[in-house]
């Protein structure tokens, strides 16, 4: 199972690119070792040039082609593992299954805004995997519910900020507005996945008192739709959803927003930035990965 999980990661172009860079470094080290050995045996520059050709033509290029050609294989393995994860009753208790559950829920439940980039979907999935790995294996749904209420409150606060930037008298520059809209889209996607996982894991939708009876799905859909409204429309309409109470949040909402934006701006992977975000979303008792 482990090797299939590893091979399935080759479906991601980012993973293949990282593997190609490691392969290039390994070949460079191999060539340098060859040069040292040939020099010690007294061979001249011509043999060393021949060694370079061998490493490039017979080692690096074939392996590089094999890495790129493995993309379809990785995609098929990922699809097969996702189907197995959906049918596994212990899928939330197994750390190796959670990424496939998240990918399946994301594909079924989330439509990213047009303003968002692929990296924002990737970051939302990465954060969802980290949160579910720490909360879903536990018998008590309270940790995941708290995370949902916190990310929802942060998304609502981000929507207010995006609206002010798009419609206020002192509107922000367009790049700042786009960044805020993308942060809102990624946070909305994260909350949508967590909500779907909660419903799938415990068989009931999460209860969010702060919504005062409004459907959670409708609120999240409105938030995702508003990203493009605020970012792409010249005369953007204001965000009109009533503000949410922040009483359920684990920490300060501004800290949640700030660490989220830092995580989005960081490269991939960004474990320290992710841990900083998790510290604002999860209670201390659930920040360590759950059992399983």
pLDDT bin (cut points 50, 70, 90) of residue 108 is very high
Cα 220 from chain centroid? 18
Interval 153-166: pLDDT, tens: 999 999 998 998 88
> Measured at the alpha carbon of residue 56, what is the angle toward residues 51 and 58, in degrees to the nearest 5?
85
Domain ranges in the chain?
2-78, 90-286
- In sequence order, the 6+-apart residues with CB closer than 8 A to the CB of 179 are 261
Q: What is the mean pLDDT of residues 197-226?
A: 90
Predicted local confidence at residue 192, as pLDDT? 97
- In sequence order, the 6+-apart residues with CB closer than 8 A to the CB of 209 are 245, 248
| Nearest in space to 110 (alpha carbons), one of 207, 190, 216 | 190
> Which residues of 3-73 form beta strands (DSSP E)?
none
| Spatial contact of 188 and 227, defined as CB atoms under 8 Å apart | yes
Cα 236 from chain centroid? 28
pLDDT above 90 for 125: yes
| Spatial contact of 264 and 239, defined as CB atoms under 8 Å apart | no
Average pLDDT in the chain: 85
pLDDT above 90 for 151: yes
Least confident of 20-29, 227-236, 245-254: 245-254
Least confident of 36-40, 61-65, 97-101: 36-40
Percentage of the chain exceeding pLDDT 90: 45
Interval 70-80: pLDDT, tens: 878 777 777 77
| Nearest in space to 144 (alpha carbons), one of 287, 292, 291 | 287
């Amino acid at each position: 199972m482990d090797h299939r999980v590893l091979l399935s990661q080759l479906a991601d172009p980012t993973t293949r690119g990282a593997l190609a860079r490691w392969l290039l470094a390994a070949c460079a080290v191999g060539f340098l070792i060859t040069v040292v050995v040939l020099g010690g045996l007294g061979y001249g520059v011509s043999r060393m040039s021949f060694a370079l050709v061998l490493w490039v033509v017979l080692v690096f290029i074939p392996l590089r082609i094999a890495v790129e050609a493995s993309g379809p294989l990785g995609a098929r393995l990922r699809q097969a593992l996702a189907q197995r994860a959906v049918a596994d009753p212990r899928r939330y208790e197994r750390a190796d299954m959670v990424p496939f559950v998240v990918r399946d829920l994301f594909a079924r439940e989330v439509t990213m805004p047009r303003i968002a980039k692929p990296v924002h979907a990737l970051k939302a999935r990465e954060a969802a995997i980290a949160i579910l790995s720490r909360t879903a294996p536990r018998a008590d749904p309270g940790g995941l519910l708290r995370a949902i209420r916190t990310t929802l409150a942060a998304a609502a606060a981000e929507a207010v900020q995006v609206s002010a930037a798009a419609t206020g008298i002192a509107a922000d520059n367009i790049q700042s507005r786009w960044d805020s809209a993308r942060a809102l889209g990624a946070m909305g996607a994260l909350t949508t996945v967590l909500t779907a996982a909660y419903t799938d894991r415990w068989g009931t939708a999460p209860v969010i008192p702060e919504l005062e009876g409004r459907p959670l799905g409708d609120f999240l859909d409105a938030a995702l739709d508003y990203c493009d409204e605020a970012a792409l429309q010249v005369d953007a309409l204001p965000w009109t959803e009533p503000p949410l109470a922040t009483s359920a949040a684990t920490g300060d909402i501004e800290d949640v927003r700030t660490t989220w934006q830092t995580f989005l701006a960081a490269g991939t992977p960004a474990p320290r930035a992710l841990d900083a975000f998790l510290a604002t979303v999860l209670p201390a008792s659930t920040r360590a990965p759950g059992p399983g």
